[in-house]
Amino acid sequence: MILSGGTGTRLWPLSREGYPKQFWPLLGSETMLQQTAGRAMGAEFAPAVVVCNEAHRFLVAEQLREAKVEGARILLEPAGRNSAPAIAAAALLVAEQSPEDVIWVKAADAAITDVPALHAALARAVVAAQAGRIVTFGMRPTAPETGYGYIEPGAELAEAPGVMRLERFIEKPDAAKAADLLADGRHLWNSGMFVATAATLLAELERFAPEVVRSVTAAIAEAKRDLDFVRLGAQAFGAAPAISIDYAVMEKTSLAAVVPADIGWSDLGSWAALWEVGEKDGRGNVVSGPVSLVDAEGCLVRSEGILTGVVGLKDVVIVTTDDAVLAMPRDRAQDVKRLVDQLRRSG
């Protein structure tokens, strides 16, 4: 199951409401959605269920077709209600046929460079999921990030080698807490991927977020099905509380587990993150598109078409698209969100 409904605000001006970041090629030639779907192709995987906004239906269908992803079903949200309702909808769809099927929930917008390691971790997670767990993937933290979930692993599960009990899940701690969690050396970051059976996901959603299940069940009952598209009932889905799976279930459930994994994961959430993972020239610049640099160092410069020149700048981000330009120090990358909020307010 691929969650593809986010808006990727911090990657403005590339990521826009009409064309968010998961539909762009951020690393390599395929889009993030295509790369994500590509990691779950082959005989051992059932066809994907992609959950996205109704407005993006043709974009999703076209990108999947282009990447030769076959048999995918596309669940359409009339409006995003965050990840708990999206996951509930996919789980209900799967449970119509086979509630004991294991679902691999993943975000459409993360980079993963070591796919064999990912698949090895997934195989371990599936064993725990079949034993009734909701399995997360634990990433080694490198900074006191406040935008992630933190996981405290416990003892290894007897029934699933390589998978630990999850002692505590802390979603988006404040800065002081994040610093503590990093310093104690035990906590891992949540990658935003989960593995569990449809039945387990629905039981825990029912336990901790019954209104989500009630609204989404009604939205599925009213859904219009047309070829690969399942269009959720608008009124019922709109009534679902807007809450993420992390707050709704992961912080509360006693069924959580974690498989620690070193998979070259990066949440490409900001321009700084893209600079981190990007291929650098001899002076630490990451460039793409028609760009020319003189005496630049540590910069990310991306142009979607307009010839873009940079002279004598250090550690900055410059992004040009057809209709907008962004320029900022690299270490202000989180504040793009503020810029976008301001632009929204001013219409």
Interacting residues toward ligand GDD by CB under 6 A: 3-6, 22, 51-52, 77, 80-83, 86, 107-109, 147-149, 171, 189-192, 246, 267
- Shortest Å distance, C-beta 336 to ligand GDD: 14
Which residue is nearest to ligand GDD, using beta carbons?
5
3-state helix, strand, coil in the chain (%, to 5): 35, 30, 35
- Shortest Å distance, C-beta 2 to ligand GDD: 8
In terms of CB distance, is 151 or 293 closer to ligand GDD?
151
Q: Are strands 73-77 and 49-53 parallel, antiparallel or unpaired?
A: parallel
What gap in Å lies between CA 257 and CA 253, rounded to an integer? 10
Phi, psi of 49 (to 5 degrees): -115, 120
Enter the tokens of residue 234: 């608008």
Phi, psi of 157 (to 5 degrees): -75, 135
What gap in Å lies between CA 65 and CA 125, rounded to an integer? 29
In terms of CB distance, is 3 or 202 closer to ligand GDD?
3
In terms of CB distance, is 128 or 245 closer to ligand GDD?
245
DSSP state of 282: T
> Is residue 156 within 8 Å of residue 164, measured between CB atoms?
yes
- Shortest Å distance, C-beta 312 to ligand GDD: 35
- Shortest Å distance, C-beta 54 to ligand GDD: 11
DSSP state of 98: -
> Is residue 278 within 8 Å of residue 300, measured between CB atoms?
yes
What gap in Å lies between CA 79 and CA 24, rounded to an integer? 21
- Shortest Å distance, C-beta 136 to ligand GDD: 8
In terms of CB distance, is 174 or 323 closer to ligand GDD?
174
Fill in the amino acid letter for 17. E
- Shortest Å distance, C-beta 131 to ligand GDD: 23
Burial 313-322 (b: 16+ CB within 10 A, else e): beebbbbbbe
In terms of CB distance, is 21 or 301 closer to ligand GDD?
21
- Shortest Å distance, C-beta 133 to ligand GDD: 17
> Is residue 299 within 8 Å of residue 292, measured between CB atoms?
no
In terms of CB distance, is 171 or 315 closer to ligand GDD?
171
- Shortest Å distance, C-beta 281 to ligand GDD: 28
In terms of CB distance, is 6 or 233 closer to ligand GDD?
6
What gap in Å lies between CA 45 and CA 186, rounded to an integer? 33
What gap in Å lies between CA 210 and CA 121, rounded to an integer? 31
In terms of CB distance, is 148 or 271 closer to ligand GDD?
148
